[in-house]
Each structure stands twice: as structure tokens, then as C-alpha cells.
Amino acid sequence: MKALLVDGLNLVRRIHAAVPAPDPGADETLMDRVIDSCTKSLERALRFHQPSHVVVVFESDAPTWRHRLYSGYKQNRPPMPEDLRDGLPAIQRAFLGVGVRSYERPGYEADDIIATIASKIARAGGKSTILSTDRHYCQLLGDAVAVYDHFGQRYLDHEMIRQRFDVEPGMLAYFFALTGDPGKSVPGIRGVGPHTAARLVKEYPDLDSLLEGARDMTGKISTKLISGAEEARLGFSLFQLRTDIELGINLNQFRYQSAA
């Protein structure tokens, strides 16, 4: 199995933001252009990756377990434009027209659904490529899981993560628990920046060890870690990807056969 797992909103929101509106009086609407661009973009990905299975994962408006855990989760993220929200069913129908099914499960974000599918495929001896610009997926990187930035036309691989964050991909949830992530409205520990976080991640094998070790540290870093311990533990829970969701699907439902 060679699966392509597409982060649906990551794909279509970027395209929607980039597609220019048609001239006044044109026969086509902006959404017509968005649907066409989304479909062509997906087709390019299919030609490039040549998958045996494909699923485009969307997410509903329903609150997720992360919102229940932290009410401020993603509170600063701009809402989806209404025309795009109304146009999602048409985009999904267009994707189905090229042989690709969509999936969503209320209460879960696309990242947890995709992480669960990728893990299931890995256990079965298959491989997956996650199509997304979201670097949080990189905590899944391994022999069986790759992450590809479709717009940047590059793999988000181990070396890229090391250069960007100075930590190993598997430590990203730990790293972001310290720094926070404004894109997800998660604060992290006040006053701990990426350079300090990377150093601490290298010195302490996990978050519990770090927070316990903070009692023996001296100076401002000790105070910051002790006072921010609750925020760090919350962030770590929020940034970890779940791989245990009961999806109720059979991957054979998403076998890809070109509709051409």
C-alpha cells in the first residue's frame, strides 16, 4: 500500500486565498475557479505521488477533544470564508469525479484522523505520504510516513526539521509545549523561546524529566519552568497527534483508480 493522505482544509483554504476573483460579468464565479484549481491541484499530486490509496480528510465545525481540553484552542485563527464553507460539498464532489473520496469524523481534527490512518497503514507494512504544510505532522516521520508540502514542492523531512527547529521530528510536541504555537493559540511557557527550548529538549529526554529537573536549576529559567509547568503539560497534550481513533472505515474504500 502506498497511500496519499491529504489534509483537505490545508489544501483548499490556501487555494481559495490565492485564486483571483473573475472579472465582473464573467460566466464563472470565484467558487467555480476555486473548485477547478483544487481539482487540478489534487490531480497534480496524484500524478506526482502515484498512490494506490487516497483520502482527502476534512473536519467539521464540531468542537474537538482539544477544544474541550483548552477552550482557547485556535481562537485567533480566522474563520473559514462563508463562500468556501458553502462550496466544500461541491469541491468534494469534484474530487470524487477524479476518483478520490473524502472523509471526516465529527469531534476530531484532520491531523488526528490522518495520524491514525498513517499509523494503521504502517502497522500493515504500507507507506503513507501526508500532503500538508503543517509541520506538526512531522512528529510522525519515519520509514513508513513522509510529509510533503504540495505548494513548496518539497518533503518536510528530518533534515528540514533539524534545521528549522534544531530538534528531532519525534520531539516536536515536546518542543512546542515549551515555545507554544500562535497558529494554534497555545501559549507555551512565557519567556521560553525556540533556542532555549531546543537546548532543553536535547538536555532532558522528556517533558516530565525537564519539569522535575527545573527544581535543581538556578536563575530565571528555573522560575520560568516551574511557573509554566501547567501550561507546558497542557501544550504537550494538545500538540501530540492521536493515532488511536476508531474510524469505522476500511482502507479498501479509498483505493485509487484514475477516473480518466
What are the domain boundaries of the chain? Answer: 2-160+241-254, 163-239
Arithmetic mean of pLDDT, 13-19: 96
CATH code: domain 2-160+241-254 is 3.40.50.1010
Residues in a beta bridge with 42: none
Arithmetic mean of pLDDT, 138-150: 98
72-92 as b/e, with b when 16 or more CB fall inside 10 Å? ebbeeeeeeeeebeebbeebb
Q: Is the pLDDT of residue 260 over 60?
A: no
Q: What is the tens place of the pLDDT at every residue in 182-238?
A: 999 999 999 999 999 999 999 999 999 999 999 999 899 999 999 999 999 999 999
Compute and round to an integer the Cα radius of gyration of the chain.
20
Residue 15 confidence class, pLDDT cut points 50, 70, 90: very high
Q: What φ, ψ does residue 151 adopt, rounded to 5°?
A: -80, -40
| Helical axes 172-179 vs 229-239, angle rounded to 10° | 140
Q: What φ, ψ does residue 149 adopt, rounded to 5°?
A: -85, 105
Give the whole-angstrom CA distance, residue 179 versus residue 16: 30
Give the whole-angstrom CA distance, residue 234 versus residue 108: 18
Cell of 35: 473548485
Residue 27 confidence class, pLDDT cut points 50, 70, 90: confident
What number of other Cβ atoms are within 10 A of residue 120's Cβ? 18
Q: What is the tens place of the pLDDT at every residue in 37-71?
A: 999 999 999 999 999 999 999 998 889 999 999 99
Cell of 156: 518536510
Helices (H), 135-257: 158-165, 172-179, 194-203, 207-213, 220-227, 229-239
Please report the pLDDT score of residue 42 as a whole number: 98
Q: How far is CA 256 from CA 57, 129, 147, 173, in A?
A: 15, 14, 19, 32
Q: Is the pLDDT of residue 129 over 90?
A: yes
Please report the pLDDT score of residue 259 as a whole number: 59
Residue 258 confidence class, pLDDT cut points 50, 70, 90: confident
**Coil, strand, or helix at residue 11?**
helix
Of 11, 114, 9, 133, the C-alpha closest to 53 is 114
Of 13, 11, 66, the C-alpha closest to 185 is 66
Chain position carrying cell 462550496: 87
Fold classification of 163-239 is: DNA polymerase; domain 1 (1.10.150)
Of 182, 179, 184, the C-alpha closest to 225 is 179
Please report the pLDDT score of residue 67 as a whole number: 95
